[in-house]
Amino acid sequence: MINEFGYCSLDYGVAYSRDSGVITCRATNKYGTDHTSATLIVKDEKSLVEESQLPEGKRGLQRIEELERMAHEGALPAVALDQKEKQKPEIVLVPEPARVLEGETARFRCRVTGYPMPKVNWYLNGQLIRKSKRFRLRYDGIYYLDIVDYVTSDDSASIMVKAVNIAGETSSHAFLLVQDDEGEYVFYAGEKKTSGKLIVAG
């Protein structure tokens, strides 16, 4: 996203049909809020092959997904684990900073590779996040963390995702910035919590 000289733009490096939807731009200051929306439609490219090329087709793909799920839950037999070279976890889609208004839901996501399938945990200011009404954790090939239930400026925080398996570990940080009624963001500078206007450079 680019924001400079009063002009804002959201650029997609690569767009797929699944990215189709309604894009909303919202502007807020101490005098009020305004927004506008547009519909993004991405047509399928006929030359793009999305079907499985495995000999068994979808049945083979389902078996791979089942093995990944079993490895994630620690239920995969040790013999099967030894058949593939162990790989240290790598976060290939890092969580991005979330800037939200008070009352909105904050979402973070990441994608992790490694073998055996790494165990992934989210942390808020160094504290382990557990699934609850307020913190929603989901996995569908990508790991999601949603912070819901009326986010306020007091929730501004440092978010960390950590992936661990027997080959090693890795982590990545992002920040949750919540804008209050005065148009200020509360944020962390090291261990100290401060607030002020957020200036986004192009």
Single-letter residue type at 25: C
pLDDT digits 0-9 by tens, 123-141: 998 999 999 988 999 999 9
pLDDT range class, residue 146, cuts 50, 70, 90: very high
- Report the SS3 class of residue 194: strand
Distance CA 116, CA 81 (A): 7
Mapped onto helix, strand or coil, the DSSP state of residue 163 is strand
Answer yes or no: are the C-beta atoms of 110 and 152 closer than 8 Å: no
Please report, as a single letter, which amino acid is at residue 105: T
More reliable by pLDDT, 176 or 193: 176
Strand extents, DSSP E, 41-184: 87-93, 98-101, 106-115, 119-124, 127-128, 135-139, 143-147, 157-165, 168-179
Q: CA nearest 123: which of 142, 108, 111?
A: 108
Rounded percentage of the chain residues whose pLDDT exceeds 70 = 64
- Say whether pLDDT at 168 is over 80: yes
Quick check: 43 pLDDT over 60?
A: yes
State the pLDDT at residue 201: 35
Return the domain boundaries, the chain: 2-50+84-196, 51-83
CATH class of 2-50+84-196: mainly beta
52-65 average pLDDT score: 61
**Total Cβ atoms within 10 A of residue 162:** 19
